[in-house]
Amino acid sequence: MNKQNQNKKTTWVIQLAVIIVLVGILVIFNGNTKVKGTDGGCCATSNYKVTLSFTSQYSLTISAGTGGTTDPAAGIYTYNSGASVSVKATPNSGYEFSGWSGDASGTTNPITITMDSDKSIIANFIRQYKLTISSGTGGTTDPAPGTYTYDSGASVSVKANPSSGYQFSGWSGDASGTTNPISITVNADKSITASFGLGNQAPTVSCNDAEQWIHCTGRDRNPTLLWTYSDPESNPQSAYEIQVDDSSSFSSPEEDTGWVSSAGTEYATRGNFSWDTSYYWHIKVKDSKDVESSWSSSCSFKTPLHAYPSADLSKSPSVPVAGEPVQFVDASTYYGGSYGTAWSWSFQGGTPATSTQVNPKVTFSTLGTKTVGLTVTDSSGYSCSCSESVGIGLPIPKWKEIIPW
Ligand SMILES: [Ca+2]
Ligand SMILES: [Ca+2]
């Protein structure tokens, strides 16, 4: 065989190989062919499968919500089956990545997607705002003063903590009032400040040593006590307690009111005090914040030697008439061994109109109701008064016996 024939043979072999490959491909893609029966009879048709491994491909759709981007950027990508694809979410300024949705979940970032089917993933972002917390002199806050970032709509509890000797006085900035702790809804950049002031100071009280007495009423031994209240913050008085004792040490009070809820600044004593005795009293008060004063310094009073006289009068006749002398008599009661020493009478329409006698005689010249007054003073100098309405009637006609002949 010469060289030319050999080249022709080689070319033919190559061409034959190409043909065989092409035919093979046709067989593979048709999946069926005709097989001639072994008996040489009529041709039978038989299906048979040819299995081949393909390198399939899938699409990955990446989306980004408002407030951020992804890497790879949002779009549709094609990957070979089984490929691992890393996708990273990047929030814009003022936003935070909040998680994956679609065919992915969680907040892993970047996330790895295994391409075993067509997939679609979405990167979600949420708006964020800053909350700046400040505190004035005299306290701090929890969270501590500073600037914090929260997801839009977050509810943040902030507590003001006053230092010792101070009190929280209120919020300012994007908050107000004195609610503590306060809840802030972070739906915008916000700034709040906690302010503090000196704590509530105790009130002060001083007894007023000008006790008021109302004698001749059966309360001769029981003065009304007065005091002066004061408070640094002008908190009103909410309560008082008074003790009265014949001992200046208040070791055995004759009267102790206990706490009395009252804004008043006087108290009518009720103690069963003795006559002719010195008593000491003191008072403490509470302001409207329930802060208590200390006991005041002491004031004192002295009860009378005895009861004041019970002024009274009597008259004769009991039903006087005009022009008829009426005998008035001091019918007062004197106590503690005292006796009357002075009398001051007044007679409306009477003659005389006044008298300083103990038992004066008076004539009323006109009819009607007359007021008679008497003030008596006892030997201790205690005075009391009384008055009485006296009806003056028609005079009785004078009868003269006449001899009938
Ligand atoms: Ca106060
Ligand atoms: Ca006592």
For residue 12, what pLDDT is reported?
52
Q: Which ligand is nearest to the CA of 290?
A: 1
Structure confidence at residue 200 (pLDDT): 83
Residue 96, in any domain of the structure:
yes
236 Cα–ligand 1 center, Å? 8
* For the CA of 274, the nearest ligand: 2
**Residue that is written with structure tokens 């205690």 in the block:** 382
Distance 199 CA to ligand 1 centre (A): 9
Give the model's pLDDT for residue 33. Answer: 41
Distance 198 CA to ligand 1 centre (A): 11
User: What is the model's pLDDT at position 217?
Assistant: 87
Partners of 118 in the β-ladder: none
- Nearest ligand by distance to the CA of 233: 1
Closest C-alpha among 292, 376, 275, 277 to residue 331? 376
Query: Does 369 fall in a domain?
Result: yes
Neighbours of ion ligand 2 (CB under 5 A): 245-247, 252
CATH number at residue 252: 2.60.40.10
298 and 222 in a single domain? The answer is yes
192 and 208 part of one domain: no
In this structure, the answer to whether residues 219 and 144 fall within a common structural domain is no
Q: Which residues contact 350 (CB under 8 A, 6 or more apart)?
A: 362, 363, 364, 370, 372
Q: How far is the CA of 142 from the centre of ligand 1 (A)?
A: 27
Residue 221 lies in a domain: yes
Q: What is residue 221's predicted lDDT score, i.e. its pLDDT? A: 93
Mean pLDDT by 10 residues, the chain (405 residues): 50 50 42 41 46 76 97 97 97 95 96 97 96 96 97 96 90 96 96 91 94 91 96 95 97 97 97 96 96 96 96 94 95 97 97 98 95 98 97 76 70
Instruction: Read off the pTM.
Output: 0.53
Smallest-distance ligand from the CA of 249: 2
Cα distance between residue 325 and residue 323, in whole Å? 7
Whole-number pLDDT of residue 245 = 97
CA of 104 to the centre of ligand 1 (A): 63
Left if phi > 0, otherwise alpha if psi is -120 to 50, otherwise beta: which for 362? Answer: beta
**Nearest ligand to the CA atom of 202:** 1
The answer as to whether 362 is a domain residue is yes
Domain boundary among 198, 222, 249: 198
CA distances from 61 to 55, 72, 75, 268 (A): 20, 10, 6, 91
Q: Are residues 217 and 292 in the same domain?
A: yes
φ/ψ bin of 3: left (φ > 0), alpha (ψ from -120 to 50), beta (otherwise): alpha
Please tell me the number of the ligand nearest to residue 236's CA. 1
Neighbours of ion ligand 1 (CB under 5 A): 200-201, 231, 233, 235, 287
Ligand at shortest distance from the CA of 235: 1
Between the two ends of the chain, the Cα-to-Cα distance in Å is 223
3-state secondary structure of 365: coil
If you measure from the C-alpha of residue 181 to the centroid of ligand 1, how many angstroms do you get, rounded to a whole number?
23
Give yes or no: residues 211 and 289 share one domain.
Answer: yes
Domain that holds residue 360: 313-392
